[in-house]
């Protein structure tokens, strides 16, 4: 299959691989083919070293010490916020809130923005959401009597814009949609979604957990009201997520969690809140994680997200051709505009059996419902196996996956 031409000749994947120490490990005695980047990506030395440097040379808590190390760590933490601001092209650092992960960021919006909703107001999500963009709205429905509408998708996994249009009316106050599906790879028409929501006065939240590592995201250009992502899928550490919100909206929202750092004054009778972004960062924040995330952003930015995307498109084309030649292979999610994520079934083999058998060949993929059970029901499957590619993956790893799937076929006949 190496006759499939590569569209990018100046992408030195081997040089990037050398930045990720874990990629030279073996798994089950075989060379590692790490194809589970959608679950969590590996970390380059640049991230590991940035966190290590902080721990070794100036670590202290932030925003409270009057001594050199605390000032330096505070500066590094706040510089990281500026790096994220630039990465998303937000107007102000006040619009960047550090959270524990994307899940917490979405819960923050559902909880705090949700306080402004009344019984009968509507929130729209889609059939392809991750549980973290379903359950917080269900909790809100129980608490405030809102309605939750679900925008359907096509059999190929496309966002159905006409169905969305039919569901929009002035009772819709929030449209909360994934920017990229973690299962199908579908890229949703984000700008159009925002335009149409704003026309009826609704706000828009994008779950960008599977988007920011594959494309440039500009929140001003999208004009979305909220945007969330999680650090560990962007080659950064776990334990950190980001919420972008328009300043006026965040200003008007009540705090999510109470405690240190998020207050202006406290008496037993009454407390008042700190300015943004501190109002939404109660307690000791993810300090070294923010520093690691900024290093990850610097890393992908230095390579160039457009170049990463071109490399991944090339891999996707190669993988679809290579895997389609494997007996019983069926791809689930074939939207034309998608990232390098391939969910699939293989005849009657259960996804967990597929993943377990190919693990013996050194291949790491995810299997199961991918925290998207309603989507599994929509696609009529119990689960899928999923190969999700990142900036360091190669055609050789796709070949290793294909050969491992042949072994699954040999076992299941
Ligand atoms: C689309 C999507 N949204 C949200 C999440 C949740 O990310 P985290 O567990 O880091 O909060 C994930 C993780 O799998 C995801 O793929």
- Region 267-278 average pLDDT: 98
What is the distance in A from the centroid of ligand 1 to the CA of 132?
A: 7
Among 54, 58, 224, 371, the active-site one is: 371
pLDDT bin (cut points 50, 70, 90) of residue 29 is: very high
Phi/psi region, residue 235 (left: phi>0; alpha: psi -120 to 50; beta: rest), is left
What is the distance in A from the centroid of ligand 1 to the CA of 111?
A: 18
Taking the CA of residue 180 as reference, the ligand 1 atom at the shortest distance is 1
In this prediction, residue 52 carries a pLDDT of 98
What is the distance in A from the centroid of ligand 1 to the CA of 3?
A: 36
What is the distance in A from the centroid of ligand 1 to the CA of 57?
A: 32
In this prediction, residue 64 carries a pLDDT of 81
pLDDT over 60 at 2, yes or no = no
CA angle 326, 372, 395 (to 5 degrees): 35
Helices (H) and strands (E) in the chain, counts: 14, 17
pLDDT over 80 at 99, yes or no = yes
132 lines ligand 1 (CB under 6 A): yes
pLDDT over 80 at 290, yes or no = yes
> What number of other Cβ atoms are within 10 A of residue 307's Cβ?
14
What's the CA gap between 393 and 401, in Å, rounded? 12
Which residue CA neighbors atom 14 of ligand 1 most closely?
A: 39
Residues 6 or more apart in contact with residue 366 via CB below 8 angstroms: 36, 38, 39, 355, 385, 386, 388
339 lines ligand 1 (CB under 6 A): no
In this prediction, residue 65 carries a pLDDT of 79
pLDDT over 90 at 117, yes or no = yes
What is the distance in A from the centroid of ligand 1 to the CA of 393?
A: 21
Express as a percent the part of the chain with pLDDT over 90: 96
Contact 342, 35 (CB under 8 A): no
- Residue 371 is classified by DSSP as T
What is the distance in A from the centroid of ligand 1 to the CA of 210?
A: 8
Q: How far is CA 125 from CA 161, 178, 207, 252, in A?
A: 13, 8, 11, 23
In this prediction, residue 308 carries a pLDDT of 98
pLDDT over 80 at 187, yes or no = yes
- Which of 371, 375, 386 is the best mutation target for the ligand 1 pocket, counting ligand atoms within 8 Å of the beta carbon and taking the most? 371
What's the CA gap between 130 and 12, in Å, rounded? 33
In this prediction, residue 408 carries a pLDDT of 97
pLDDT bin (cut points 50, 70, 90) of residue 92 is: very high
H/E segment holding residue 12: none
What is the distance in A from the centroid of ligand 1 to the CA of 182?
A: 8
Which tokens in the block code for residue 141? Answer: 């429905």
- Which of 40, 102, 188, 339 is the best mutation target for the ligand 1 pocket, counting ligand atoms within 8 Å of the beta carbon and taking the most? 102
pLDDT bin (cut points 50, 70, 90) of residue 40 is: very high
pLDDT tens-place string over residues 360-376:
999 999 999 999 999 99
Taking the CA of residue 207 as reference, the ligand 1 atom at the shortest distance is 3
pLDDT bin (cut points 50, 70, 90) of residue 167 is: very high
209 lines ligand 1 (CB under 6 A): yes
In this prediction, residue 10 carries a pLDDT of 87
In this prediction, residue 4 carries a pLDDT of 62
pLDDT tens-place string over residues 384-395:
999 999 999 999
What's the CA gap between 157 and 335, in Å, rounded? 6
In this prediction, residue 5 carries a pLDDT of 61
> Is 371 noted as a catalytic residue in this protein?
yes
Which residue CA neighbors atom 9 of ligand 1 most closely?
A: 103
pLDDT over 60 at 1, yes or no = no
pLDDT tens-place string over residues 123-147:
999 999 999 999 999 999 999 999 9
In this prediction, residue 9 carries a pLDDT of 63
In this prediction, residue 3 carries a pLDDT of 57
- Which of 230, 370, 373 is the best mutation target for the ligand 1 pocket, counting ligand atoms within 8 Å of the beta carbon and taking the most? 230
Taking the CA of residue 232 as reference, the ligand 1 atom at the shortest distance is 10
pTM confidence score: 0.97
- Region 263-285 average pLDDT: 98
- Region 294-299 average pLDDT: 98
pLDDT over 70 at 7, yes or no = no
Residue 59, preceding peptide bond in cis (omega within 30° of 0): no
126 lines ligand 1 (CB under 6 A): no
- Region 75-80 average pLDDT: 98
103 lines ligand 1 (CB under 6 A): yes
Which residue CA neighbors atom 16 of ligand 1 most closely?
A: 182
pLDDT over 60 at 89, yes or no = yes
Q: Which residue has the tokens 């059999």?
A: 155
388 lines ligand 1 (CB under 6 A): no
In this prediction, residue 215 carries a pLDDT of 98
Max Cα–Cα distance, the chain, nearest Å: 74
């Amino acid at each position: 299959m190496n006759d499939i031409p590569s569209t990018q000749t100046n992408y030195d994947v081997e040089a990037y691989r050398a930045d990720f120490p874990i990629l030279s490990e073996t798994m089950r005695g075989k060379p590692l083919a790490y194809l589970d980047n959608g679950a969590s990506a590996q970390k380059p030395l640049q991230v590991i070293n940035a966190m290590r440097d902080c721990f070794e040379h100036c670590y202290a808590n932030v925003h409270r010490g009057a001594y050199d190390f605390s000032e330096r760590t505070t500066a590094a933490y706040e510089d990281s916020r500026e790096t994220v601001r630039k990465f998303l092209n937000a107007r102000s650092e006040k619009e960047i809130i550090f959270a524990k992960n994307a899940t917490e960021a979405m819960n923050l919006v559902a909880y705090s923005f949700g306080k402004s909703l009344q019984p009968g107001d509507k929130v729209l999500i889609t059939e392809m959401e991750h549980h973290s963009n379903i359950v917080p709205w269900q909790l809100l429905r129980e608490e405030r009597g809102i309605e939750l509408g679900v925008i359907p998708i096509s059999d190929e996994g496309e966002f159905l814009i006409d169905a969305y249009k039919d569901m929009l009316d002035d009772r819709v106050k929030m449209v909360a949609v994934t920017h990229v599906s973690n299962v199908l790879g579908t890229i949703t028409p984000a700008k159009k979604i925002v335009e149409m929501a704003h026309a009826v006065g609704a706000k828009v939240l994008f779950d960008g957990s599977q988007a920011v590592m594959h494309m440039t995201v500009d929140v001003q250009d999208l004009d979305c009201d909220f945007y969330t992502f999680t650090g560990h899928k962007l080659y950064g550490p776990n334990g950190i997520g980001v919420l972008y919100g328009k300043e006026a909206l965040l200003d008007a929202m009540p705090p999510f969690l109470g405690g240190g750092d998020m207050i202006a004054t406290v008496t037993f009778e009454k407390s008042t809140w700190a300015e943004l972004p501190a109002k939404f960062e109660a307690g000791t924040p993810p300090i070294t994680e923010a520093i690691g995330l900024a290093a990850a952003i610097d890393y992908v930015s230095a390579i160039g997200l457009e170049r990463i995307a071109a490399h991944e498109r090339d891999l996707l084309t190669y993988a679809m051709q290579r895997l389609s030649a494997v007996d019983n292979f069926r791809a689930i999610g074939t939207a034309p505009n998608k990232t390098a994520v391939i969910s699939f079934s293989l005849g009657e083999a259960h996804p967990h059996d597929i993943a377990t058998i190919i693990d013996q060949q050194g291949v790491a993929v995810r299997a199961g419902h991918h925290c998207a059970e309603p989507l599994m029901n929509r696609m009529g499957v119990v689960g899928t196996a999923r190969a999700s590619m990142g900036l360091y993956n190669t055609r050789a790893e796709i070949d290793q996956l294909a050969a491992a799937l042949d072994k699954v076929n040999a076992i299941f006949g």
